[in-house]
Structures are given as C-alpha cells and as structure tokens.
Amino acid sequence: MALSLLGIACSPRRNGNTTKLLLEGIRVAQAEGHSTELVYLTDLKISPCQGCGACSAKGICVINDDILKLQEKLIHSDRFILAAPIYFMGVNAQTKTMIDRMQTFWARKYLLNQTLLNPAGPERIGLFISTAGTRLPNVFECAERSVKTFYHMLDIKYSQACLYSGVDKVGDIEASPSSLEEVRKATQALLIS
C-alpha cells in the first residue's frame, strides 16, 4: 500500500546536515513508490504562540499564518520525518515555534474531545533526525522529548531517532556514510511498520 510521507526540514540552513539526512529518507520513500512532500520551515511564515488561550474555546488559532497549511499536511499524512538540529541543548527556534503552535491540537484533543484523524486510516508513524555540534552525552534529551510530545499530540507513533553528535559545519555529515545508511534503514522500517 502506498503511503504519504511528510518530511519537515527545520534547519535554517537549507543545505544543513539534518536536511541532507532528511533528503536521503525522502529518496528511499520515493524509490519504494510512496508519495512524499518536503516542507522547509524557513519557507513558511509562522508566528510564535501568543498564549492567548483562544484555541481552548474552539480549537482554532487566532493567528492567521502558514501554520494552518502545515497543520493540514500533518493531519493528512501517514508517515513523518522531522529533521531538526540542536541549538543550546534543545530543538532550534523554528522547530520550537512550530511545536508550540500545535496548542490547537492539544485543545481539540483534551479540552474539546475532538478527533482529527480517520480511524480507518493506517497507523501514523514518525521518525526524528537530529544533529548536534557538541558531543555531550545528553545533548539530544530535551529535543527528543519535545518531538515525542509533538508526535503524541498528533496521534503519531514515535518510531525511532537517528541522532548524530559532533556534526557542526555544513557538510560534516557527508564524512559519515554510516549515518546516511542508518537513515535509509530507519526510513525503510518506517514505511513497512
């Protein structure tokens, strides 16, 4: 069965290391006959959550920006790859802004008891890809927790993470062919789950 895979490139560097890994995953999905869509967060105009609470009443955000288009893609996709670099021991600002704007889904799910998904559709599953310049042992801990919460809000099962430390300069990931192979295998597993 052909699935729809949504890749979200969160790095402000369009040719950054996380994006290169994401593109490798996209290529795997396309080669196996699945439909894919790639979204670069830097192409979208997304304002930060204002904490106004308006979405608690109707599950609709009062900010009219590109998050609405992205939320539609998130609702209608089957598989997901979120690729975000680590900044200051957490996800970068673009990723965090996107995640914070999922408050509308939280309101719909927990306050308004609404379901966003077709219960007859395939199980939705997501992969997380990240790189960090530092090699500290807990460098991915906060980011992975944020991404798991993001996926949970959208009823997406968290499959696994492909995490690479000591990768800082643009292109550094290319010196690690094993990381590209790991992403290929993780994407294949994502598609057969």
> Which alpha helices (H) appear in 101-140, and where do they start and end?
103-106
Whether the predicted pLDDT of 119 surpasses 90: no
Among 8-12, 102-106, 113-117, 140-144, the range scoring the smallest mean pLDDT is 113-117
* pLDDT, tens only, 171-193: 888 888 899 999 999 999 999 97
Number of other residues whose CB lies within 10 A of the CB of residue 52: 11
Q: How confident is the model at residue 1 (pLDDT cuts 50, 70, 90)?
A: confident
What is the average per-residue pLDDT within 97-111? 94
Q: Please tell me the distance from the alpha carbon of residue 102 to that of residue 110, in angstroms, as a whole number.
A: 13
pTM: 0.94
What is the average per-residue pLDDT within 28-57? 96
**Residue 121: what pLDDT?**
77
Q: Please tell me the distance from the alpha carbon of residue 20 to that of residue 85, in angstroms, as a whole number.
A: 12
Mean pLDDT for the chain overall? 94
Q: Positive or negative CA dihedral for 171, 174, 176, 181? A: positive
Whether the predicted pLDDT of 56 surpasses 90: yes
Q: To the nearest 10°, the Cα dihedral for 84, 56, 158, 187?
A: -50
| Residue with the two structure tokens 């960090």 | 132
Edge-to-edge strand list for the sheet holding 4-9: 35-40, 4-9, 79-83, 125-132, 157-165
Number of other residues whose CB lies within 10 A of the CB of residue 134: 13
Whether the predicted pLDDT of 117 surpasses 80: no
Is 142 exposed, middle or buried, given 0-12, 13-18 or 19+ CB atoms closer than 10 A?
middle
**Residue 52: what pLDDT?**
94
**Residue 71: what pLDDT?**
94
